[in-house]
């Protein structure tokens, strides 16, 4: 059972999400059916809406993913992040390699991206659940409407939209309405596509450059 929206997200997100009660109810029915059918799904229910725990008006950068890691123990509710102590998925390992190359920082000791989230990096998958072991299995079940509403709320903020880092075609389609002047696009960092232009794309320094140009404090991307 998903946690109630009112207790799972920061109150600043409620105006954007409250109108989607029917969609969220439908998603809950689908997840209940998955459970009854013996299909385990990820992440843990209390983490499904974790990306929205930080205030909407504090989001400086949004990084869009597709859906959670399908490997049990990997998905944490934040796109691309894993819990402390979990071996790095290859996609995250590639992200960290580019982080080191881009900024010259030390190799992160953990795949937990919570420090980014706390600084205003919204790590958002377009689909917030997945059947264990089955990538893409929960697409088209209603999550896209939920995350789309959240992105629309960001784009229409009085303070302006955040910087958008869009990795791969799915993210670029989902975030296609962002002002292109604040968008950093490249191929996805997965092992299948990183060689097509993710390497050397310098998303972290470019995002900070855009923030500084807007008079916003940059992100401290280095992880302990």
Q: Catalogue the active-site residues.
A: 67
CB of 104 closer than 8 Å to CB of 205: no
Q: What is the DSSP string of 8-65?
A: HS-GGGHHHHGGGHHHHHHHHHHHHHHHHTT--EES-GGGTTGGGGS-GGG--EEEEE
User: Element (H or E) spanning 163, and its range?
Assistant: strand 163-167
Closest C-alpha among 47, 123, 119, 113 to residue 84: 113
Q: Which structure tokens are listed for 216?
A: 């916003």
Q: Identify whether 74 is preceded by a cis peptide bond (ω within 30 of 0).
A: no
Secondary structure letter of residue 75 according to DSSP: -
Q: What is the DSSP string of 84-123?
A: TTPPPPHHHHHHHHHHHHHH-PPPPS----HHHHHTTEEE
Closest C-alpha among 161, 212, 170 to residue 79: 170
């Amino acid at each position: 059972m998903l946690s109630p929206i009112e207790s799972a997200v920061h109150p600043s997100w409620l105006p954007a999400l409250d109108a989607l009660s029917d969609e969220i109810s439908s998603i809950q029915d689908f997840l209940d059916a998955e459970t009854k059918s013996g299909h385990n799904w990820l992440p843990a229910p209390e983490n499904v809406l974790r990306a929205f725990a930080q205030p909407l008006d504090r989001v400086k950068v949004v990084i869009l993913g597709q859906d959670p890691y399908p490997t049990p123990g990997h998905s944490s509710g934040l796109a691309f992040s894993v819990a402390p102590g979990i071996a790095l998925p290859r996609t995250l390992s590639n992200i960290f390699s580019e982080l080191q190359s881009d900024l010259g920082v030390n190799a992160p000791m953990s795949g937990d991206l919570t420090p980014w989230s706390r600084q205003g990096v919204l790590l958002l998958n377009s689909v917030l659940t997945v059947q264990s072991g089955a990538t893409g299995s929960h697409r088209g079940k209603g999550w896209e409407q939920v995350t789309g509403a959240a992105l629309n709320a960001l784009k229409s903020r009085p303070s302006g939209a955040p910087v958008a880092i869009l990795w791969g075609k799915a993210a670029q389609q989902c975030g296609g309405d962002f002002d292109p002047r604040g968008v950093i696009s490249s191929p996805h960092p997965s092992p299948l596509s990183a060689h097509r232009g993710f390497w050397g794309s310098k998303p972290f320094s470019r995002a900070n450059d855009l923030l500084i140009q807007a008079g916003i404090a940059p992100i401290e991307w280095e992880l302990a």
